[in-house]
Amino acid sequence: MNKRSIALVTIGVLVASAAIFGILEFASYKSITFESSEQNVSVKISNSTNGDEIKTVSLDEPVKLKEGSYMYSVTNEGFDNSSVSFNVSKDATITVKTSYSTEKLHSLLEEVRTSIHEVILGEYPFVNKDYIFGDESLHNKGEWYSAKLIQRVSGGNQPDIYRVIVHKENKVWTISTQPALSISIESNKSIPEDIIRQVNKPLSNSGYDLLYPL
């Protein structure tokens, strides 16, 4: 085999290797599309290792990502921008959970608190005299409300704490489950699990401050 042949074979091998590498590299990228029930949402995609931003995309705009782990977060003002992890192993559509930010939910709570209290007191009038509303929160996009009804007690007695969840459907607030010392996920499948877990947590310090003001 002469030098020319050797050179040609070497070049051929290099070209073939480059082509194979290129194909494999291209194949490792997958098409990811983000969707949401909310309109005009922007999603920031970050490296899961160091948090560096990779790209910000709009809904329904496919993005090519290499196989691996990433995080996304909603960038729109007023929305919860916590990072959510996701893995890329094949072409996929990811449903973006959009819930309002804590600040926005606090602000909305002030607008709806009175209406919700009226619903609860309408069903259980004795709450006004015997209990204090504590750890009140709105959840998701403000259509779920949870609170702890703290029994008014005197001296150093410990109160019973009843958890209550109210839901807004078709613009009407309705009590989702009878106030209870502890709410079970199994018995309340229509209520989002994270809301139940949140309301079942111990009474916060600010809740105790309501009961025992300094």
Give the total residue count for the chain. 214
Q: Which of 142, 200, 208, 210 binds another protein (CB under 8 A)?
A: 200
Q: Which of 180, 192, 208, 210 binds another protein (CB under 8 A)?
A: 180
Site for another protein in 144-163 (CB under 8 A): 153, 157-162
Q: Which of 97, 206, 191 is nearest to 145 (CA)?
A: 191
Q: Which residues have CB under 8 Å from 166's CB, separation 6+?
A: 116, 119, 120, 144, 145, 146, 173, 174, 175, 176
Instruction: Specify the 3-state DSSP secondary structure of 166.
Output: strand
**Shortest CB 199 distance to another protein, Å:** 9
Q: Which is nearer to another protein, 95 or 158 (CB)?
A: 158
Q: Which is nearer to another protein, 45 or 134 (CB)?
A: 134
- Cα–Cα distance, 195 to 188 (Å, whole number): 11
End-to-end CA distance of the chain: 97
**Shortest CB 27 distance to another protein, Å:** 43
Q: Which of 185, 192, 208, 210 binds another protein (CB under 8 A)?
A: 185
Annotate each residue in 111-140 with x if it binds another protein (CB under 8 A) or - if it does not, as one string: -------------x-x---x----------
Q: Is 172 exposed, middle or buried (0-12, 13-18, 19+ CB in 10 A)?
A: exposed
Q: Which is nearer to another protein, 64 or 197 (CB)?
A: 197
The residue ranges that bind another protein (CB under 8 A) are 124, 126, 130, 153, 157-162, 178-187, 193, 196-197, 200, 202-203
